[in-house]
Structure 1
Amino acid sequence: MSAAGLRLQIGARTIATIPRQLLRVGMSLDAALGGDMPDLPPLGAADHGYLVTSVPDGLAITWPGLAFERQRYTRYYVDLAGGEAAWRAGLSGQTRSTMKRKAKKLASVGGGLLDVRRFRTAEELARFHPIARALAEKTYQERLMGAGLPGDAAALQKMLALAEADRVRAWLLYVNDAPAAYLWCSADGETLRYDYVGHDPAVAALSPGGVLMEAALSDLFADRFARFDFTEGEGQHKRLMASGGIDCRDLLLLRPTVGNRGAVALVRGFDAAIGLAKKAAAAPALHKLAKRVRRA
């Protein structure tokens, strides 16, 4: 899989992209937990290098060119083999209370019951897709990151092929008979991966995404999977609902060309500037000033 460039980002928002043709090599959760060395396919003539994601801490990759660590994060997961009772017992009391309160609040809007609909077969996924796609078009994942559920025919055919092989689980949450949130996951061996998620911003106050996530996990404890993989990157809901995690980093492995050296210098400078800006914004005086500016 290719990556079209090096993104300069503030949070989820991309400010600019440095054109680089990269081969993206994403390590699976099983590979990261096992400390396996990633398999790097040969670079094409036009490729500038690799973007290797979820490299576990402690695993050293020897590369003759430029090696640059882009980001660090914990890759969170849920141990499904341990059972639902053990998972819930491992959550903090505050998390359990919050989940219960949010589910109760959303159910009260829908007449007292949660309306969660489950999809597994190719026939079921064919019905799921247009509904979830309409939701995806409203989400920040789609608008800011282009990471909503794919809508093109080729992607749909791949999804349906996965479903034919029993490698898909998906859910829709409805509020008053209107779709409010979706979750689409694919299987990688005994691990189910958190691929596409989104909710209607109009009902964001009801926390539909979190409520749907809890319902989906409850289903999965009775399914065939050993783990639920929250994939790369961090988020509060991942951190709160996970039962485990592995510290990982994303690496850029580039050919040692002048253009690549310049691109790495630019990315390093941008990341350093953003880091300084975050520290400065956290200073009490500047924090108060920012509040006064927002109120003005």
Structure 2
Amino acid sequence: MTLTPASIDFTVGSRRLLAVPRRLETVCFSLEDILAGRLPKACDRQEGDGFRVLSAPQERIGELLRHFPDHVMGGRQDYPRHYIDMSGSYEDYLGQFSGKTRSTLRRKQRKLADACDGACRVSAHRTVAEVEDFLKAALPLSAMTYQARLLDAGLPDTPRARERLLEQAEQDRLRCFLLRAGDTPIAYLALPIDGQTLVYAWLGYQPEWARLSPGTVLQMEALEQLFAEARYRWFDFTEGDGAHKAMFGTASVECASFVLLEKTLANRALLGARDGFDAAVAGAKSIAERSGALARVRTLLRA
């Protein structure tokens, strides 16, 4: 684990309203950790404010907390961690969808192709030179996405991140895909490889193309190529739930992400405020759902 700057975020939807800085070590469960029943190796921390725990299986949280008796938990988010079992063929995978879902996916592919007059194509990038070309096209595209603008969750654009991606390409531990309409990049997908697992790290698309589901179309094209490699056991959608992950995943594990902070008065107050804020947001969301205003609120938050 590495001590890194982090923050306790107060968010509404995809918009971060306030971030309180803390220095946290990350305890991250890989999908292979979860399926093998392993706890990630914990280290004795010498400095910092606590830990950020990502994607802990809910049934192991009590065991994990016993490793950190002097810390308080807060900001807990529960969700199913979706993944794809890639032990079969692409045809086997498609066969797990309902006929209606398969029809919907084909219709989205046709609509996008029609919108580009048939001039849409997906390119795969795996060598160092190919990944350099991918980054040249994908980084400007990433900067347009709401993930980058509002969540700092776009494709990383620092010299160290670029170096890391090129190292992974050199070691054949990275797969990247780019969807173009004509000569214009409209969606990207980048997948580091961890053991036998493809990790769903970065997906983004031009907001103006959102109505044509470019992320969905790119996901389907990429999966077809990845199944054809017959190299991978799992496709891991990582932490967090979402309609895209739920639709493409074939299985899931109930997980949670949270922070563990030292039991100081300031940290207790901070986590209490965060939990209270989250409860208020959840209550407001429930009211918006009942009134039919939720879609309009989400549009405003992403603007």
Work out whether the TM-score is over 0.5.
yes
Shift of 1:199: 0.8
Shift of 1:114: 4.0
SS in 2 for 1:163: helix
Count of matched residue pairs: 289
Shift of 1:13: 1.1
Give 2:125's aligned amino acid.
F
Give 1:110's aligned amino acid.
C
Equivalent residue for 2:132? 126
Give the Cα–Cα distance (whole angstroms) in 1 for the partners of residues 20 and 76 of structure 2: 14
Larger deviation, residues 274-283 vs 245-254: 274-283
Equivalent residue for 1:259? 266
When the two chains are superposed, the root-mean-square deviation of aligned CA atoms in Å is 2.0
Cα deviation, 1:182-217, whole Å, max 9, x if unaligned, reads: 111100000010111111122222211110000001
Give the Cα–Cα distance (whole angstroms) in 2 for the partners of residues 240 and 143 of structure 1: 26
Cα deviation, 1:255-294, whole Å, max 9, x if unaligned, reads: 11111111111111111111222223334xx447998xx9
Equivalent residue for 1:213? 219
Larger deviation, residues 120-129 vs 105-114: 105-114
Give 1:67's aligned amino acid.
M
SS in 2 for 1:183: strand
Match of 2:144 among 134, 138, 143: 138
Structure 1's 289 and 282: CA in aligned 2 closer, same or farther, altered over 3 A? Answer: closer
Equivalent residue for 1:52? 53
Give the Cα–Cα distance (whole angstroms) in 1 for the partners of residues 180 and 13 of structure 2: 29
Structure 1's 289 and 130: CA in aligned 2 closer, same or farther, altered over 3 A? Answer: closer
Give 2:15's aligned amino acid.
R
Cα deviation, 1:155-186, whole Å, max 9, x if unaligned, reads: 11110000011000001111122111111110
Unaligned runs of 5+ residues in structure 1 are: none
Shift of 1:251: 2.7
Give 1:271's aligned amino acid.
D
Give the Cα–Cα distance (whole angstroms) in 1 for the partners of residues 292 and 155 of structure 2: 37
Equivalent residue for 1:88? 94
Structure 1's 85 and 6: CA in aligned 2 closer, same or farther, altered over 3 A? Answer: same
Equivalent residue for 1:196? 202
Structure 1's 268 and 161: CA in aligned 2 closer, same or farther, altered over 3 A? Answer: same
Q: Is 1:178 the counterpart of 2:184 in the alignment?
A: yes
Equivalent residue for 1:10? 12
Give the Cα–Cα distance (whole angstroms) in 2 for the partners of residues 16 and 112 of structure 1: 44
